[in-house]
Structure 1
């Protein structure tokens, strides 16, 4: 868990001011979709997202002083999801998400040589995704499971669009390697 800040600076640079309400309104829908995919139910997702926003609200001035409010807030959300799952002895429910099969197809099918049967590899692919570095996992879930654009993914994570694309390239290469599947030359 992210520690509560011990000291909240009094000065918040004007260029970083954004209201908590505006942030909440902009992020809530995607946060709900992310939490739902991870915890498996809308009710649980509501509780998780509520706790994440409550924690963010209580540290809002501190968040505004971070290099990226979006990245800081995303970390709080993921920590709440992880805590909820851990307390119940559960794993993320991503593989059971309604859009997982479609996401897998979008993620790999256009990039792999003909003849690869995605359905036969879904469990191995989910396992391989779970072994990716954290940022690559985030990008893959946002981009392919939640169907965000590269730009929206970058915005929600507080990173550059080029970083999203780089993470996708690296994730695809890692997944293809782990699953022993040669990548097609297409981009």
Structure 2
């Protein structure tokens, strides 16, 4: 099961578990056998047609437009042809739901506030195309799970975990650690260097730094990416992650201490981080 498949299936499974409906109830309303429904909700068996997902969305009161976008992308990842996807979407019921609808007002405001900052974070790890897809998927997943986000202790922290999971699911990993060395060629440290020699030295240092950063715990890595690669202030980092300012500063101190302990200082005597 791919990451995009999981991104729409998990909210649907949660909606079913909290609905109070039995599998038999769902089978009657959706007109699908209990065994097929069980397979669908477990993410096994054949990839489901949109008309089935639509029936479930209506029954479970899930927003249909973000669900459709995620379903369609996951179908592509599952190697379904464009013809199969279009045919599955063109049923009498499905045709009514494949046009964009507006998300909740609060969701739209949250997206307007955070989308550009989320994009800066995502582009450290992903290509431009992957970055745009990850950001779009992040806000679709948030739309699907908006009630869960509002019920959480902090919407910002909830949303950041959605963003992080979406970005990391697309980021190459080695030995369980994210690889983002491509960012060395577009880091802040390179922007003011003009000579080839200076740039090559800085790239070598950046590659070493990024390799070491990949070993940091998740939140320390995020803090360092936001602070040192994206240029955010500690207050902005605190707001994005939905954590207290003291926590963000503590994470940065611990991360810097670790990096200084594993990175060889350059010959110029400058600090590595």
The TM tier, using the shorter chain, reads 0.7 to 0.9
2:64 alignment counterpart: none
2:51 alignment counterpart: none
Kindly state the Cα deviation for residue 64 of structure 1 after the two structures are TM-superposed: 0.9
Deviations 1:38-81 (A, max 9, x none): 1121x321111111100001110111111121111111111111
Structure of greater Rg: 2
Unpaired segments ≥5 residues, structure 2: 1-5, 20-104, 191-200
1:135 alignment counterpart: 219
Q: 1:101 & 1:95 partners in 2: Cα distance?
A: 14
Q: How many residues are aligned here?
A: 157
In 2, are the aligned partners of 1:94 and 1:100 still within 8 Å (CA)? no
User: Please, which of 156, 163, 166 is the counterpart of residue 70 of structure 1?
Assistant: 156
Q: 2:215 & 2:178 partners in 1: Cα distance?
A: 13
1:156 alignment counterpart: 240
Structure 1 vs Structure 2 CA RMSD: 2.9
2:243 is paired with a residue whose SS is: coil
User: Please, which of 36, 56, 80 is the counterpart of residue 123 of structure 2?
Assistant: 36
- Do structure 1's residue 170 and structure 2's residue 254 form an aligned pair? yes
In 1, are the aligned partners of 2:178 and 2:214 still within 8 Å (CA)? no
TM-score (norm 2): 0.51
Q: 1:7 & 1:149 partners in 2: Cα distance?
A: 40
TM-score (norm 1): 0.73
In 1, are the aligned partners of 2:171 and 2:178 still within 8 Å (CA)? yes
2:145 alignment counterpart: 59
Higher RCO (CA < 8 A, seq sep 6+): 1
Unpaired segments ≥5 residues, structure 1: 9-17, 104-116
Q: 1:66 & 1:23 partners in 2: Cα distance?
A: 15
